[in-house]
Structure 1
Amino acid sequence: MISRPRIIAIQLSAALGITSVGLVPTVALGQAMLEEVVVTARKREESLQETPVAVSAFTGKSLQELGLTNISDLTKVVPNVDMGIGNGTTGTGNAFIRGIGARNTGVNYDSGVGIYVDNVYVSRADGAIVDNVDVQSVQVLRGPQGTLFGKNTTGGAILYATNRPEDEFGGNALVRVGNYNKIDSTLTVNVPLVGDTLMSRFSLYQTKNDGYVQSEIPDDLPPQALGNFPFYEGEYNDINRYGGQAQLRWLAADDLTLDLNYNYGKTDQAARGQNCEVVTDIPGTGWQGDLQNPFIVIPSTGETIIDWCQRNDDLGKDKIMANLEPNQYKAEVNTLALTVDWEITDVLNFKSISAARSAEGGEVNELDAIGIALLGRTNFAGNGAEQRNTDSYSQEFQLLGSAFDDKLDYVVGAFGFTEKTDKGAATSPSLFFGALTIPNLAFYQSNLTKLEAKNTSASVFGQADWHFDDYWTVTLGARYTWEEREVTRTFRVPDISDLATTGDASVSPISDTFIDFPSGPETFNPNHGYVVDIDTRPLSPTFGMPDPRADQTRKLDDSKITPMMSIQRTFDGVGFMDFGNAYLTIANGFLSGGITDTVDTITGLVGEYDPEEVWNYEIGFKMDAWERKLRLNTAIFYTDYTDRQLTTIRISPEGRIAGALINAKSSYISGIEMEAVILPTDNLQLTANVTFNHGKIEEYDDFRIESIPASGIRPECTAIETGAGEVANCPIDRSDEDLPRLPDSIFYLAAQYTFETNYGSVVPMISWSYRTNLQNCFDASSCLSGVYKVDQEDLSARLTWNSPDMNWRVTGFGNNLTDDRYVQGGTPLVDVTSTAGTTYNLPRTYGIEAAYNW
């Protein structure tokens, strides 16, 4: 086995023979050389090629030329970025960089990728699908950014900047139509109010298309199922987002600028429908089916859990069965930010960024993808369910300057953040009438769980560049962060007195989860109330009384110093190279620890997970060559993780399953990222990106839930009562698994050519992207199954006409032209049901867009 120090040495020495990291620019029409790209990856404006950071940057114009309409499209063109248009069965944002992100999107979890819109941190996944509307630039910073951007950037950061108001009246409009009844529209107007002193800018947008997944009711459903479940017919995987932005810019003085920015976004669309695939070749899976099929599922539905999954799979990728209503994902986000930029002197600048953000969201999750009322969760059921509502406030101060005749550049600052979620309750109903073949007996398992979270954080940071001469620079930086996190979990069970409209429902002697309805199934009241559970622990001082564990509050605080060091050497005019920049960077970062919403099966108490810490070692080389007709940027990195946060499956004392966050003690990721742009002729641009990764989990201890065999429970396992019988909770070593969302290799190729005519320019463009062995599982058997380990390929093309005055643009486009379909997510539950819920990528899409500037 190769040791980790040797791996580092091999990769870093290899960097000496390769080149460096960067961007995928596009070229202005007829341009003879690549333009300089300005980035703010280090809190100040500087040339991309001079920045010792692995960063890809795009202007608003290049986003249009590449056909990138929202943040999820970055997956195609940026090395090691995986950003889907939803997570699980919801439309929440879920970004991964270099295999780092967060599968869990609850209010008590944070992502390892920081998303910033106009320097404002987007802390929650609701509203994190950012549409590219009136965008000035997008920058993707890969690797931990713990010094300048703080905690929760162990994977990297994505920086969005919108266009600022200007002193001339103008604007632009765009309409895009396509198959699946797609219609997108944007409108931006820039209005000067008081000369060149007070200016405004307004944008509106809408993006909408029908879904490509349809739920239907098969003709041959068993009679029991028809009477048991309200099967739902309708559309899934649609898109319906709209919003706007209003900005004011006041040039209060020659050296003082104030920007006030209000941003609104709303999502109101269906959930993401899942196919269901049977996985029966992994020993020990399907404990829920083993427990419930004989006494509950078969008597109530006429078929087993696996039979129902197979029914769904037989319908095909884009047809499903579903029963949980309403079919919905909703989010609404309001953000208000004030930026004050004061140029104190020619070499000293002060900036203040104040922001308030409110995010509300809720969804319906049919987790099992089976079509019967087995595993689901909803924020819209009434009777206590409510959408989550998070309010956050942040304040950042920055002081940027130069000293010692520009030999020293520095930035120092302070950041404060507070966030509170005061709503957010979901019910998880599972209902089967006819259990044990008794018509009026129901297996009913449900709860109402509410999470309230408070997060407070404060930090100070500083980073300085010392330029020894025109070529050598050393950068040192550090950040101190303190944070406090608090979670309150409220747990309620059904109110038996309210379960039947006739008031005569009662708990069966069999178990608390078996309910008798003497007046018949039609008396079930889905809008019943919820109450505090009764403590059933025989030795507990509160035995027979309301369970004190129903309302739990835990608080923790932590502090961390995250340093970084970089040394770089620039080159001018060496051979065919016009400019070069070689750098070595060592950077530290951490991802917040926290408090889980799952409880220990024995104690019933909520637990916690540790912070994730990372050290990243990176060598890069950036080069412009051949009279700036070639740009070649490469980074080689090795990232060492301690207590990496990974998602697994846990079971509650009452037998419900839920995703949980636990720590893998030791893991690492290494890779090489190469980006190249070349102009072989004045009108031809070729772009190529190549990435190779290797990741390994060295120590990852977990628990797996299994059925108890006839021979009895194994000594290392613990028995758990679920309400329908006992299962075994067994320790498992998962250190041989693939890291999630980390492809083995990534390839991107694109070519565009500009034809100049008397009637304007015509620009055809074709692009191809390919990712290999991308893993999207989280429970142990799902990772073993191979269902979620796929290759992903996309072939797209665009044909654009620009008017001679460049005011009009018309583009025909096609995406996924080969109609390649692959798994891009879902809800892995192979351990639980021997089934895998899978969501698939968009089929072939095509359309036309027209834009006008004035």
Structure 2
Amino acid sequence: MKSRTGKISYLAIAIAAALSGNVAMAAEDSAEKANQSLERIEVTARKSIESLQEVPVAVTSISADELSEKGISVITEVQQFSPNTTLQASRGTNSTITAFIRGVGQQDPLWGYEAGVGIYINDVYIARPQGAVLDLLDIERVEVLRGPQGTLYGKNTIGGAIKYVTKAMSGDAEFKVQGTVGSYGQKDLKLTGQFPIIDDKLFIGFGVASLERDGFGEFLTSALSNQDNENYNKDLTASRITLEYHATEDLFFSFNWDKTKDKSNSKGGYRLLPSILTNAPVPDSVFDSYTSLPTWNEVELEGISFTANWSVSDNTSLKYVYSTRDSYSPTNIDFDNTSLPIFDVPAIYDDEQSTHEIQLNNYGENYKFVSGLYYYDGESCGQFEAILGVLGQALGAAGLTREVSGCSNSTSKAAYAQLSYDLSEKWSMTVGARYTQDEKQAIVNNGLIFDNVYPESGWIPGYVRPEGQLVPTVLDDEADWSKFTPRIGFEYQANSDLMFFTSFAQGFKSGTFNPRATTAEPAANPEDVDSIELGMKSEWLENRLRANVTLFSLDHKDRQYISVLPGTTSSDLNQRLGNIGSSEGQGIEAEFTYLATDSLMLTANFGYIDSSFNEVYDTDPVTGVQFDKSDRFSIANTPDYTYNLGANYTIESEVGDFILNASYYYRGDYVLFEEDSLLTQDGYGLANVSVKWYSTDGNWSAGLHVKNLTDEEYMIGGYQFVAPLPDGGYAPGLGGDNTLIGYFGDPRTVSLTVGYQF
């Protein structure tokens, strides 16, 4: 494996110089700056509109303007601005998300598994990670809520929640066109607009996007001809329609439809070890690969939501939200990344969900009350073929496939309430709770087929799939759970610019059945996280310096984990799911914004977490004796340190305003897998620079963005199916090859965006 260490770029040094140099500027120009202050930031972290500085929650909010000026185009880039946060495109695809906050998340995207970080579009929960790498179209802001949000947001937010908030309509006729060209043949086009159908009553809005880019690398060899061999390319279209009706001053309705179709190729991984079964050496580029599968891939999403909001009185509102969402994803993931079918996994994910939520909010002079009822109904199905063709031929068969298919159907009902009450002029308290009932039904089909089998006819040229179910049903069961998740906190408002808060909160991740089960094993119980926070929200220097700091400690119990059982042969893929033990973490998060002059704003955020497993219990399959193997486990996808330094400088001129942005983002070392990880990414830094121009009439804009200026190579995912040997070598794993694979983040890119609006 190659060593990849972070480099301290010249840009980081420049930013540090700017930080120190502008202290002197601030002193010289203090009289001029006396009337300046930072803008108020509004968030809906507690399901009501509040100032960021009033919310006793660790939350980061990034506005539409900030996203545009920094050239942020997908939600995964938001991780750079939120401490102790990991948002990555998952291995094998562009659109599946891997999300961790404070060391809590979910890496395996297989159907049936539940998320550890909740993803929301407005008030709608997105249950599956497929398609959750959202491209930012017609966005108002993105909010990152850190820590368990079990009271207001419910299950599967034990690490936190990511909220994608779309732009509300103004009621005026508007139209915007935006085009982007850039590195690797990038060609993007976005059209957004709105217009009134009935003045002050009925409005319609739309957004359409076409996003294309060539690959960062290529598939060097392939077993199939006449296919697109670009690797890490992009081919995505997205559409959105919104209809708003203001029936009266107190009654509002909104209907939303969106659809995304991602036809980007499957991502091929980088072989960190040469193949021992075929000619597949370590490629020269981390973005090059080999494959024996088709390179096509597809993620198709479609959703509808409806919201009705009634202002019953000046201080009481009633809100109803309905949503339904479907996704379908046929995908090709070549685990071994060679031109032979050593370990290939073509798969299909097919998901449906619908939700209903009724929310009642009431406000008084000294209290805020939020309450609601929630219902979720979801069906998550899928199928994958673990094709071990070379091994099957060695055994004298036409091939060998372990086929796994099934569904995990669940319903969830919840009632919640939260009260914030002023005890005095300075002291207040927040108390809330949520009660949830979950039911889950699961069916798993699993077995061996002595041939190379694909999910559908025509998957590869000429392939015809045999009719009927090919493998037996090994699990058909149901289970239910109920959970009570409280929250209690106290806030002290020292003055109008300084608040201290402390809180205790609980969250849980739903129980689940093993979607890879080989026997009728019982379901794993829910995971629990208990979290304590102590924080400060503050503004200083006449509201020119904002400093928000949170100390936290969390206890993560009943962690669900897949353990691999040894089999009688290397063709066995036996796995069991269980609650294996617990982990803990303590850390700090700090976010600073300093308005140094009329023109210069400096930002910094810092995250630190000390996390580890306390206990990991397993059972020896031969002796039946339980043992603790926590010394073999690490918290995955969670560096000890993250920080970001940034500068924003505005230049006013006769031809318009120029806004310059520069930032340096650093992530410390982290492992990719929890148990016996062989893949570790050394600490690295990303330097980004941008300049955005706005015309004097406000109609034209242009932005030039350079990301990953120093062209860092950094790993964001991988597969490991090898066993380390005492001499430093590796023994081949499943499929009989050295399967140690890495997936990498974007290289240096340059893009130019031009927009016109009227």
> Do the two structures share a fold, i.e. TM-score over 0.5?
yes
What corresponds to 2:245 in structure 1? 250
What corresponds to 2:709 in structure 1? 817
The answer to whether structure 1 residue 277 and structure 2 residue 193 are counterparts is no
Post-superposition shift, 1:532? 6.1
Root-mean-square deviation over aligned CA pairs: 2.8
Deviations 1:219-265 (A, max 9, x none): xxxxxxx9xx9898711111122111111111111100011111111
> Which whole-Å CA distance do the structure 2 matches of 1:647 and 1:483 have between them?
21
What corresponds to 2:580 in structure 1? 664
Structure 1 stretch 366-375 or stretch 111-120: which is displaced more? Answer: 366-375
Change (3 A) 1:472 1:367: same
Change (3 A) 1:841 1:52: same
Conserved? CA contact 1:492–1:530, under 8 Å: no
> Which whole-Å CA distance do the structure 2 matches of 1:232 and 1:239 have between them?
15
The answer to whether structure 1 residue 471 and structure 2 residue 426 are counterparts is yes
Change (3 A) 1:729 1:335: farther
Q: Please list, as runs of the form range in 1=range in 2, the aligned pairs for 1:645-660 lying within 5 A after superposition.
A: 645-646=560-561, 648-650=563-565, 655-657=571-573
> Which whole-Å CA distance do the structure 2 matches of 1:652 and 1:201 have between them?
57
The answer to whether structure 1 residue 83 and structure 2 residue 87 are counterparts is yes
Post-superposition shift, 1:60? 1.2
What corresponds to 1:791 in structure 2? 683
What corresponds to 2:59 in structure 1? 55
Conserved? CA contact 2:652–2:658, under 8 Å: yes
TM-score (norm 1): 0.78
Post-superposition shift, 1:87? 3.4
Q: Secondary structure at the residue paired with 2:40? A: coil
Post-superposition shift, 1:372? 2.4
What corresponds to 1:564 in structure 2? 487
Change (3 A) 1:653 1:104: farther
- Amino acid in the other structure paired with 2:720: P
Deviations 1:367-413 (A, max 9, x none): 1234421111113xxxxxxx33221110001110024xx22211111
Picking from 292, 315, 329, the partner of 1:323 is: 292
- Amino acid in the other structure paired with 1:424: G
Structure 1 stretch 789-798 or stretch 587-596: which is displaced more? Answer: 789-798
Picking from 308, 320, 335, the partner of 1:367 is: 335
Post-superposition shift, 1:142? 0.3
Post-superposition shift, 1:665? 1.1
Change (3 A) 1:627 1:315: same
Select the structure of larger CA radius of gyration: 1
Q: Secondary structure at the residue paired with 2:687? A: strand
- Amino acid in the other structure paired with 2:493: T
Q: How many residues align?
A: 706
Post-superposition shift, 1:315? 3.9
Q: Please list, as runs of the form range in 1=range in 2, the aligned pairs for 1:731-742 lying within 5 A after superposition.
A: 733-742=629-638
Conserved? CA contact 2:634–2:674, under 8 Å: no
> Which whole-Å CA distance do the structure 2 matches of 1:63 and 1:658 have between them?
45
> Which whole-Å CA distance do the structure 2 matches of 1:371 and 1:732 have between them?
40
Post-superposition shift, 1:736? 4.6
Q: Please list, as runs of the form range in 1=range in 2, the aligned pairs for 1:153-168 lying within 5 A after superposition.
A: 153-168=157-172
Change (3 A) 1:369 1:777: farther
Q: Please list, as runs of the form range in 1=range in 2, the aligned pairs for 1:328-347 lying within 5 A after superposition.
A: 328-347=296-315
Q: Secondary structure at the residue paired with 1:313? A: coil
What corresponds to 2:217 in structure 1? 213
Q: Please list, as runs of the form range in 1=range in 2, the aligned pairs for 1:531-542 lying within 5 A after superposition.
A: none
Q: Secondary structure at the residue paired with 1:681? A: coil
Q: Secondary structure at the residue paired with 1:53? A: coil
Conserved? CA contact 1:215–1:236, under 8 Å: yes
Change (3 A) 1:57 1:125: same
Post-superposition shift, 1:327? 1.2
Change (3 A) 1:693 1:275: same
Conserved? CA contact 1:598–1:606, under 8 Å: no
What corresponds to 1:264 in structure 2? 259
Change (3 A) 1:120 1:233: closer
What corresponds to 1:411 in structure 2? 370
The answer to whether structure 1 residue 185 and structure 2 residue 189 are counterparts is yes
TM-score (norm 2): 0.88
Post-superposition shift, 1:679? 1.2
Change (3 A) 1:434 1:128: closer
> Which whole-Å CA distance do the structure 2 matches of 1:375 and 1:432 have between them?
8
What corresponds to 1:617 in structure 2? 532
Conserved? CA contact 1:148–1:479, under 8 Å: yes
Change (3 A) 1:41 1:32: same
Picking from 314, 339, 349, the partner of 1:388 is: 349
Unaligned stretches of 5+ residues in structure 2: 1-32, 455-460, 724-732
Change (3 A) 1:434 1:464: closer
> Which whole-Å CA distance do the structure 2 matches of 1:810 and 1:822 have between them?
30
> Which whole-Å CA distance do the structure 2 matches of 1:356 and 1:129 have between them?
19
> Which whole-Å CA distance do the structure 2 matches of 1:113 and 1:250 have between them?
33
Picking from 298, 321, 343, the partner of 1:353 is: 321
Picking from 609, 619, 626, the partner of 2:541 is: 626
> Which whole-Å CA distance do the structure 1 matches of 2:489 and 2:106 have between them?
28
> Which whole-Å CA distance do the structure 2 matches of 1:163 and 1:91 have between them?
22
Deviations 1:26-48 (A, max 9, x none): xxxx9932111111111111111
Change (3 A) 1:80 1:646: farther
Change (3 A) 1:744 1:659: farther
Post-superposition shift, 1:653? 7.5
Picking from 469, 477, 482, the partner of 1:554 is: 477
> Which whole-Å CA distance do the structure 2 matches of 1:234 and 1:166 have between them?
45
Conserved? CA contact 1:750–1:765, under 8 Å: yes
What corresponds to 1:698 in structure 2? 614
Picking from 402, 405, 411, the partner of 1:456 is: 411
> Which whole-Å CA distance do the structure 1 matches of 2:625 and 2:387 have between them?
23
The answer to whether structure 1 residue 756 and structure 2 residue 711 are counterparts is no
Picking from 592, 601, 606, the partner of 1:676 is: 592
Picking from 666, 669, 673, the partner of 1:777 is: 673
Post-superposition shift, 1:101? 1.3
Conserved? CA contact 2:671–2:680, under 8 Å: yes
Post-superposition shift, 1:442? 3.9
Conserved? CA contact 1:649–1:779, under 8 Å: no
Alignment identity in percent? 26
